[in-house]
Amino acid sequence: MYRVAVVNSKSFGRHAPDLVEELERYAKVEWMDVDKNLRGKELAEKLAGFQFIIASVTPLYDREFFEENKDILLIARHGIGVDNVDLKAATEHGVIVTRVPGFIERDAVAELAVALALSAIRRVCYSAKLVKENKWKERGKIVGFNIRGKTVGIIGLGNIGSRVAEIFRYGFNANVIAFDPYISEEQARKHGAQLVDFDTLIEKSDIISLHTPLTKETYHMLSDKEFEKMKNGVVIVNAARGELIDTEALIRALESGKVAAAGLDVIENEPIKGDHPILKFDNVVLTPHIGANTLEGLRGMDEANVRAIISVIEGKAPIEYTVNREVFEKGTRAKLKNT
């Protein structure tokens, strides 16, 4: 019988037991937690005997993993990003890599990004903490600002970023600008945004929200140099990937007051420990990568993974979910009928 390893994902199947039951008619499904730094040969040995992996954001499936593990037919990312999978190595070894289509997480992640912005600007979490500590009288120290008329800069105007742009433009009457080298000015206008270059966005925005994939080009796209160019009192929102921001640089910008507040759903090297220096700031809201965690979002993610795995078991190529589609031309480990 086929075996499926659900690796480092507590959410898969939790709210869609019917989908798990459907998958279990085809394969044995096993949940496991592994160290986020486990990789290469050790990870390959840990996952020996499994044909399918439902993968969270950790660990890293690197070239050595694919060289050492001969059993894996498909890795299904339980999410949109595939930055923890070496796609080139997977393709060379005939392993299909799938992900969740962006539209499935669109509303869930976009709404959380806006919630993080609001929480950071209005110091919602800190204010609630004051109440619990019987410090109601300190409320006068908490002052935010209205979003109406402010400039919101969106970095990455894809499925999620475009929805964030719509919410800020049409929900809050903000001035929305965006940087995305892969879309046209007309496409941006459809979502209420004006395209600008990266430096203009950095310099003009009151709120900056990141919605771009993690690549070599976008790694630490916000660091000391970028923070120096920003307005004093800027608010930073990141619901994409932690490594887009140089965390040490962000801490320096928070300490100096250049950054007034930050709303983060992700951070470098997550999960972090409770003594991480970012946690000392009352003007930082940090959630544990819950962007897609709505009932609708999680079910959509589960279904995408289940459909991809069942397709391969039935000898069909899960083309609509596949990231490395060139694998179908080069040859897959799985025996498929429709490639």
Last residue of a domain, one of 252, 270, 286: 286
For 1-15, how does the pLDDT look when each residue is reduced to its tens digit (9 = 90+)?
Answer: 999 999 999 999 999
**Rounded-to-integer distance, Cα 179 and Cα 182, Å:** 9
Where in the sequence is the domain holding 128, given as residue range(s)? 103-286
Same domain for 156 and 176: yes
Same domain for 153 and 282: yes
Q: Is residue 337 part of a domain?
A: no
Same domain for 239 and 120: yes
Count the neighbouring beta carbons within 10 Å of the beta carbon of residue 184: 10
What DSSP character marks residue 231?
A: P
For 217-248, how does the pLDDT look when each residue is reduced to its tens digit (9 = 90+)?
Answer: 999 999 999 999 999 999 999 999 999 999 99
Digit-by-digit pLDDT tens for the chain (339 residues) are: 999 999 999 999 999 999 999 999 999 999 999 999 999 999 999 999 999 999 999 999 999 999 999 999 999 999 999 999 999 999 999 999 999 999 999 999 999 999 999 999 999 999 999 999 999 999 999 999 999 999 999 999 999 999 999 999 999 999 999 999 999 999 999 999 999 999 999 999 999 999 999 999 999 999 999 999 999 999 999 999 999 999 999 999 999 999 999 999 999 999 999 999 999 999 999 999 999 999 999 999 999 999 999 999 999 999 999 999 999 999 999 999 765
Q: Is residue 339 part of a domain?
A: no
Same domain for 305 and 273: no
How many domains does the chain divide into?
2
Give the DSSP H or E segment for 76: strand 74-77
Whether 120 and 285 have beta carbons less than 8 Å apart is answered as yes
Q: Is residue 335 part of a domain?
A: no
Same domain for 277 and 138: yes
Measured CA to CA in angstroms, residue 258 lies from 109, 157, 263, 312 at distances of 26, 25, 15, 51
Q: Is residue 248 part of a domain?
A: yes
Q: Is residue 126 part of a domain?
A: yes
Annotated catalytic residues are: 241, 270, 289
Same domain for 281 and 157: yes
Q: At what angle do helices 295-313 and 102-122 cross, to 10 degrees?
A: 150
Q: Is residue 180 part of a domain?
A: yes
Q: Is residue 338 part of a domain?
A: no
What's 244's domain CATH number?
A: 3.40.50.720
Measured CA to CA in angstroms, residue 322 lies from 75, 82, 104, 223, 316 at distances of 10, 11, 15, 33, 12
Same domain for 118 and 96: no
Q: Which CB contacts under 8 angstroms, 24+ apart, belong to 282-287?
A: 282/123, 282/126, 282/129, 283/120, 283/123, 283/126, 283/254, 284/120, 284/254, 285/116, 285/119, 285/120, 285/124, 285/125, 285/261, 287/112, 287/116
